[in-house]
Chain A
Amino acid sequence: MTTLGTTSVPAGAEEQPPAEEAPRPRRVRSDVVRVVSASKPVRERLLDIWQARELLVNMVRTEIRVKYKSSFLGLLWSLLSPAMTLGIYVLVFQVILKNGIPNFVIFLFSGLLLWNLFQTGVQTATGVVVANAGLVKRVAFPREILALAAIGSAGVFFFFQACVMVIFMVALDAPPAWHLLWLLVVAMVPLLVFASALAVLLASITVYLRDMQHLVEVIVGAAWFWACPIVYSFQESVASKLQHHGLEWVYFLNPVTPMVMTFQRVLYNRPGLVALTTPGHPQVHLLPSWGALTYLWMDAAVLGFSLLLFWVAMVVFGRLAGNFAEEL
């Protein structure tokens, strides 16, 4: 291995003592080897991403700061907008349509919380490489970071919203299932991996197909949302109809569903019969009466699928990333 060291290294380099007899000071750490070539294995690129994790953190921080820097209410917007959505859904479904779900705000919020993370993350990530064209063309860094940063900043907003959720739960005196809190973490991991996989995939495709952004807006923003049991209850509204045809499994092809239901199980925490507030107070199951293990297995299955998808996304991204700088 090369002897390291130099006569005068500016602060910042952890160098070993200089080699005395070297005619010219050697300073290169021989273990840092980077290869630029047409194809780079996914494993190496994952390593690159890991090494650039501080950049990821910085980019998330930047995105959050930039987003609200010059706006009047600043970060409050990140709470106001979901609060508005929440308010409208409550108004429409509870006040106007009278779905009769007790503590509907909590029910809705537990699913919406997760969905907001997914949707904002994936939607931002879709256009992120195109939006940062200047950077991609001039600075070398693992491009996947851009997509991951979009998910990361969505994750930060998720955290803010979760704080509001806690306030709601305290105010409405609706405690979560304390013994199942760990399931939240179990559900978060597959969701983040799944969202990251989609983010990486879509970010690279959008460079070549610019209208991907609109497509994603329509599919994720409109269609996908309603395929998840967020504003309605799976058990009450969907399960019986699908079971009738033996098609219950189709509903669970949506990888976001298991996580949404896990969140509802933990945060809404009414697995038994619930009396609706509609006249006559009919008793229904809003949540399935599954045990923790069922949720665990579902989430694990999604995690497995998401990891596979993430790998595919990395392969696709790797193929496409080589031409980013010229395509943009």
Chain B
Amino acid sequence: MGDTVVSVEQVSKRFRLYHEKYTSLKERVIHAGRVPYEDLWALRDVSFEVHEGETVGILGRNGSGKSTLLKCICGVLQPTSGRVVVRGKLSGLLELGAGFQQELSGRDNIYLNGSMLGMSKREIDRVFDDIVAFAELEQFIDNQVKFYSSGMYVRLGFAVAVNVDPDILVVDEVLAVGDERFQRKCMERIRQFQEEGRTILFVSHSPDQVRAICDRGVVLHNGAMVGLGAPGEMVRIFRETLLAADGPLRAEEAPAAGSAGAEPAGVPGGAAPEEAEAGPEAEPSAPAPASDGVEAGSPLRAGGPVRIREVQVRQPGAEDKPYLVTGGPLSVQVFYEAGEPVEGAVVSVEVRDANDGLLLRTDTAILDKPLDLPPGRGVVEVRFASFPFLDGTYTVAAGIANRLGGRLYDWREPACQFEVMYPGRGSGMVALPAEVLLEVEEQAGGPAAVAGAEAR
């Protein structure tokens, strides 16, 4: 395509891991030709194109090759085979403040760093004040960088990189640094870049960030590209790679054992706004394809001690209606199947709106309800006394992890969706019980009156 700015063409990168590293002449001679090594393919045959003005997020767990890919794109590493063609000026934020000289002042470092990123002195002169202002270092700009705090250091690094006026900005997880206010400022700048039609390549650990700002996503898994497309879809694939990563740790998937034991029942009643409940369940009468679940069996999904069979959303007392009514109770049922006893399982539930914005996330750990699942089938129900969402379609995602959240046993996204009907007349995203009070302090005619009305 004519507007391709970054074209990654069958890029592979091999790292040679030597069991012992010989870097002296003597050792090289002694061990010539027989240094034991292993080949590690950090990237295998990755190809994709980034179009002008696009924001592409790169997802992948640790060691999946994300950073290697970015480094190849930036030119820090050269691919073993294949090539990357970059059209336009590229500025990489691989590590903020890389290339700063400790002994020099912030001012000198701006010039040094700027020229490293390909700017001429005249160009730097022009944006110098912007850089200093963005980094908020007006008072310290003539101090040596070695006296900077880590926050100041990072701010200066980011400020230089974004003021290079790049056509393509490559960001590698650097947004995780700095305090919240500065992070917001960075995100603002990135949004501004998007509006200006610049291309952004973005690596993040946070799927939500990718979902929020990217047009497309790329998922890497063990150096191979396993997904390329809409961010929501990519987040799902990314979660699956996380599950697959847990694979070797998992026990074999046991055949469906009979429902062995009953869980001690949860606290009954609706006193608590939300409550978790596990018990010998009412098995869903049918496999229920109606709830739009995603079928298990994607290539990346591996077996585990516990698996989500299905997720259902219902409104107690209104099961006959095809939609839920705002303000009524909401119950999310996660049907599971455990192959072995699972102690300290945590079931988490997310509700998203049509734009994939996260509206609600809670889990049984937050609700302080430890779950010990016996082998067999069961259902965990999370009940909300009422929900405020207005009309629309909402999706539910659910997952089961161990107590510390380190192992994700299963994750379904989207697990199911539901429609909401709002009988009232308000608009927006949520309906909250409200009442109106009028207090007239001074009235020309009659006595002061207090009016009260309730609106839903």
Residues B115 and A58 in contact, CB atoms below 8 Å apart:
yes
In the assembled complex, B356 has its CB within 8 A of some CB on chain A: no
7 A-B pairs (CB sep. < 8 Å): A25-B53, A28-B168, A36-B78, A36-B79, A62-B101, A141-B116, A211-B24
Question: Please, which residues of chain B bring their CB within 8 A of the CB of A135?
Answer: 98-99, 116
> Which of B78, B121, B130 is in CB contact (< 8 Å) with A37?
B78
In the assembled complex, A32 has its CB within 8 A of some CB on chain B: yes
In the assembled complex, A223 has its CB within 8 A of some CB on chain B: no
In the assembled complex, A69 has its CB within 8 A of some CB on chain B: yes
**Interface residue ranges of B86-139 to A (CB < 8 Å):** 86-90, 92, 94-95, 98-99, 101, 103-104, 108, 111-112, 115-121, 123, 126-127, 130
Question: Please, which residues of chain A bring their CB within 8 A of the CB of B28?
Answer: 208-209
In the assembled complex, A97 has its CB within 8 A of some CB on chain B: no
Contact with A along B13-36 (1 / 0, CB 8 A): 001000000011110100000000
Question: Please, which residues of chain B bring their CB within 8 A of the CB of A65?
Answer: 103-104, 108
Q: How far is the CA of A7 from the CA of B195 in the complex (A)?
A: 9
How far in angstroms is the closest Cβ of chain A from B18? 10
Residues A37 and B165 in contact, CB atoms below 8 Å apart:
no
With A28-B52, A138-B94, A325-B76 as known contacts, state yes or no: A52 contacts B118, CB within 8 Å: yes
Contact with B along A203-220 (1 / 0, CB 8 A): 000001111100100000
Question: Please, which residues of chain A bring their CB within 8 A of the CB of B266?
Answer: none
Residues B85 and A33 in contact, CB atoms below 8 Å apart:
yes
In the assembled complex, B190 has its CB within 8 A of some CB on chain A: no
Which A-chain residue is minimally distant from B130 (CB atoms)? Answer: A10
In the assembled complex, B163 has its CB within 8 A of some CB on chain A: yes
How far in angstroms is the closest Cβ of chain B from A143? 10
In the assembled complex, B433 has its CB within 8 A of some CB on chain A: no
> Which of B79, B92, B111, B115 is in CB contact (< 8 Å) with A140?
B92
Nearest 10 Cβ contacts at the A-B interface = A37-B83, A138-B98, A28-B88, A140-B75, A322-B78, A25-B197, A36-B84, A55-B115, A12-B165, A24-B53
Residues B196 and A6 in contact, CB atoms below 8 Å apart:
yes
Q: How far is the CA of A235 from the CA of B131 in the complex (A)?
A: 60
With A135-B99, A138-B76, A325-B71 as known contacts, state yes or no: A55 contacts B116, CB within 8 Å: yes
Which B-chain residue is minimally distant from A7 (CB atoms)? Answer: B196
In the assembled complex, A134 has its CB within 8 A of some CB on chain B: yes
Residues A38 and B80 in contact, CB atoms below 8 Å apart:
yes
Question: Please, which residues of chain A bring their CB within 8 A of the CB of B196?
Answer: 6-9, 25, 27
Residues B88 and A32 in contact, CB atoms below 8 Å apart:
yes
Question: Please, which residues of chain A bring their CB within 8 A of the CB of B15?
Answer: 326
In the assembled complex, B226 has its CB within 8 A of some CB on chain A: no
Residues A34 and B75 in contact, CB atoms below 8 Å apart:
yes
Residue among A6, A11, A54, A134 having the largest count of chain B Cβ atoms under 10 Å: A54
Residue among A28, A65, A211, A326 having the largest count of chain B Cβ atoms under 10 Å: A28
Which B-chain residue is minimally distant from A55 (CB atoms)? Answer: B115
How far in angstroms is the closest Cβ of chain A from B161? 10
> Which of A7, A26, A38 is in CB contact (< 8 Å) with B79?
A38
With A35-B84, A37-B84 as known contacts, state yes or no: A12 contacts B94, CB within 8 Å: no
Q: How far is the CA of A200 from the CA of B86 in the complex (A)?
A: 26
Q: How far is the CA of A210 from the CA of B3 in the complex (A)?
A: 45
Contact with A along B231-262 (1 / 0, CB 8 A): 00000000000000000000000000000000
How far in angstroms is the closest Cβ of chain B from A26? 6
How far in angstroms is the closest Cβ of chain A from B231? 18
**Interface residue ranges of A130-144 to B (CB < 8 Å):** 134-141
Contact with B along A1-34 (1 / 0, CB 8 A): 0100011111111000000000011111110111
Question: Please, which residues of chain B bring their CB within 8 A of the CB of A8?
Answer: 195-196
Contact with A along B198-215 (1 / 0, CB 8 A): 110000000000000000
Question: Please, which residues of chain B bring their CB within 8 A of the CB of A32?
Answer: 87-89, 167
Question: Please, which residues of chain A bring their CB within 8 A of the CB of B24?
Answer: 209-211
Interface size range of chain B in the complex: 35 or more
In the assembled complex, B401 has its CB within 8 A of some CB on chain A: no
In the assembled complex, A307 has its CB within 8 A of some CB on chain B: no
Which B-chain residue is minimally distant from A63 (CB atoms)? Answer: B101
Which A-chain residue is minimally distant from B54 (CB atoms)? Answer: A24
Question: Please, which residues of chain A bring their CB within 8 A of the CB of B103?
Answer: 65-66, 69-70
Residues B76 and A12 in contact, CB atoms below 8 Å apart:
no
Question: Please, which residues of chain A bring their CB within 8 A of the CB of B119?
Answer: 12, 54
Residues B92 and A139 in contact, CB atoms below 8 Å apart:
yes
In the assembled complex, A59 has its CB within 8 A of some CB on chain B: yes
Q: How many residues of A contact B (CB 8 A)?
A: 55
Residues B23 and A209 in contact, CB atoms below 8 Å apart:
yes
Which A-chain residue is minimally distant from B26 (CB atoms)? Answer: A211
Question: Please, which residues of chain B bring their CB within 8 A of the CB of A9?
Answer: 165, 196
Residues B167 and A36 in contact, CB atoms below 8 Å apart:
no
Question: Please, which residues of chain B bring their CB within 8 A of the CB of A12?
Answer: 119, 123, 126-127, 163, 165
Q: How far is the CA of A29 from the CA of B87 in the complex (A)?
A: 7
Residue among B76, B90, B163 having the largest count of chain A Cβ atoms under 10 Å: B76
How far in angstroms is the closest Cβ of chain B from A8? 6
In the assembled complex, B74 has its CB within 8 A of some CB on chain A: yes
Question: Please, which residues of chain A bring their CB within 8 A of the CB of B85?
Answer: 33-36
How far in angstroms is the closest Cβ of chain A from B243? 30
Question: Please, which residues of chain A bring their CB within 8 A of the CB of B168?
Answer: 28
Question: Please, which residues of chain A bring their CB within 8 A of the CB of B121?
Answer: 54
How far in angstroms is the closest Cβ of chain A from B432? 39
How far in angstroms is the closest Cβ of chain A from B235? 24
Which B-chain residue is minimally distant from A34 (CB atoms)? Answer: B86
Residue among A139, A210, A322 having the largest count of chain B Cβ atoms under 10 Å: A139
In the assembled complex, B287 has its CB within 8 A of some CB on chain A: no
Q: How far is the CA of A138 from the CA of B92 in the complex (A)?
A: 9
Residue among A27, A33, A137 having the largest count of chain B Cβ atoms under 10 Å: A27
Q: How far is the CA of A8 from the CA of B83 in the complex (A)?
A: 32
**Interface residue ranges of A163-218 to B (CB < 8 Å):** 208-212, 215
Residues A28 and B112 in contact, CB atoms below 8 Å apart:
no
In the assembled complex, B81 has its CB within 8 A of some CB on chain A: yes
Which B-chain residue is minimally distant from A48 (CB atoms)? Answer: B75
**Interface residue ranges of A274-327 to B (CB < 8 Å):** 321-323, 325-326
Residues A62 and B127 in contact, CB atoms below 8 Å apart:
no
Which B-chain residue is minimally distant from A206 (CB atoms)? Answer: B23
Residues A33 and B87 in contact, CB atoms below 8 Å apart:
yes
Question: Please, which residues of chain A bring their CB within 8 A of the CB of B187?
Answer: none
Q: How far is the CA of A69 from the CA of B78 in the complex (A)?
A: 35
Residues A37 and B82 in contact, CB atoms below 8 Å apart:
yes
In the assembled complex, B72 has its CB within 8 A of some CB on chain A: yes
With A65-B103, A65-B104, A138-B94 as known contacts, state yes or no: A38 contacts B78, CB within 8 Å: yes
In the assembled complex, B77 has its CB within 8 A of some CB on chain A: yes
Q: How far is the CA of A29 from the CA of B167 in the complex (A)?
A: 8
Residues A139 and B78 in contact, CB atoms below 8 Å apart:
no
Residues B75 and A36 in contact, CB atoms below 8 Å apart:
yes
With A10-B165, A208-B23, A211-B25 as known contacts, state yes or no: A139 contacts B197, CB within 8 Å: no
Question: Please, which residues of chain A bring their CB within 8 A of the CB of B78?
Answer: 36-38, 40, 321-323
Residues A36 and B72 in contact, CB atoms below 8 Å apart:
yes
**Interface residue ranges of A96-114 to B (CB < 8 Å):** none
